[in-house]
Amino acid sequence: MITVLLVDDHALVRMGFRLMLDAQPDLSVVGEAGDGAEAVELSRRLRPDVVVMDLHMPGLDGVRATELITAELPGVRVLALSTFDLDENVVAALRAGAGGFLPKDVSPEELVEAVRVVHRGESAVAPRLLTRLIGTFVRASRPERPAPPAGPDGWDGLTELTEREREILVLIARGRSNGEISGELGVSPSTVKNHVTNLFAKIDVRDRAQAVIVAYEAGLITPGE
């Protein structure tokens, strides 16, 4: 059973999401929070598998709450929601550790599947939004930090990656699953998993959503490619 904490400042929205999720045999809503501070407190107490987090709330917003939860409770995954498609807070939430993002007008089927995907440790970002979000906000909001010299291929900051790891990072940024990468490269799923684990450690990210941001920032892939 996947346990879920719902976070939104509108009770009717939480009620709607609860009805969608509790209708599934493998999902159970174990709590609700009306703001970010309450979300952090309930996450500590309930230790849900997934937090469905609205980003726009009074007081402690969803981005900061996500950052606090993922830093303190690495076993708790966060699925961020926003009313707005193109929103700098979405990239901020992914940077903060959210495992995915969906617009709040998603269908019940999309929400249910996203919760399952995030629980598996994979990235759930609506395909129609990913390229636009990254292309619009990543470069403009890149944090100031020292970067290692660019390699001969111009991939700034990724010089520790092997050629295979770089290739897999590009495929991740294009939305490929581990299974699809395995088939495309002609290697075993376990080999792909090992490469993914190694490259995540080298570029200091915790999941596929953050890896996608790194790939766009480094110029491995461009919006619309």
What is the spatial distance between Cα 35 and Cα 53, in angstroms, rounded to a whole number? 9
* Spatial separation of the C-alpha atoms in residues 137 and 129, rounded to whole Å: 12
Q: What is the pLDDT of residue 87?
A: 58
The CA distance from 224 to 115, in Å, is: 27
Task: Confirm if 53 and 78 have CB atoms less than 8 A apart.
Answer: yes
Read off the amino acid at residue 25. P
* Structure confidence by residue, pLDDT tens digits, 9-25: 999 999 999 999 999 99
At position 150, the amino acid (one-letter code) is A
pLDDT tens-digit map of 123-152: 777 655 665 666 555 555 544 444 444 444
> For 46-62, how does the pLDDT look when each residue is reduced to its tens digit (9 = 90+)?
999 999 999 989 899 99
For residue 174, the Cα-to-chain-centroid distance in whole angstroms is 15
pLDDT above 70 for 218: yes
Q: Is the per-residue pLDDT at 225 higher than 60?
A: no
What does the pLDDT average to over 78-101?
Answer: 79
- What kind and span of H or E run contains 6? strand 2-7
Say if CB 97 and CB 47 are below 8 A apart.
no
pLDDT at 105 over 70: yes
3-state secondary structure of 94: helix
- Residue 43: CB atoms within 10 A of its CB come to 24
Does the structure show a pLDDT above 80 at 77? Answer: yes
Question: Rounded to an integer, what distance in angstroms lies between the CA atom of residue 70 and that of residue 72?
Answer: 6
What pTM was estimated for this model as a whole?
0.65
Helix (H, G, I), strand (E, B) or coil at 12: helix
Rounded (10°) angle between helices 163-173 and 189-203 = 90
Residues 6 or more apart from 174 whose CB is under 8 A from it? Answer: 221, 225
Region 155-159 average pLDDT: 63
Provide the pLDDT for residue 150: 44
Element (H, E) at 109: helix 108-119
Return the pLDDT at 133. Answer: 61
Summarised one tens digit per residue, pLDDT across range 158-215 is 888 999 999 999 998 887 878 889 999 999 999 999 999 999 999 988 777 778 878 8
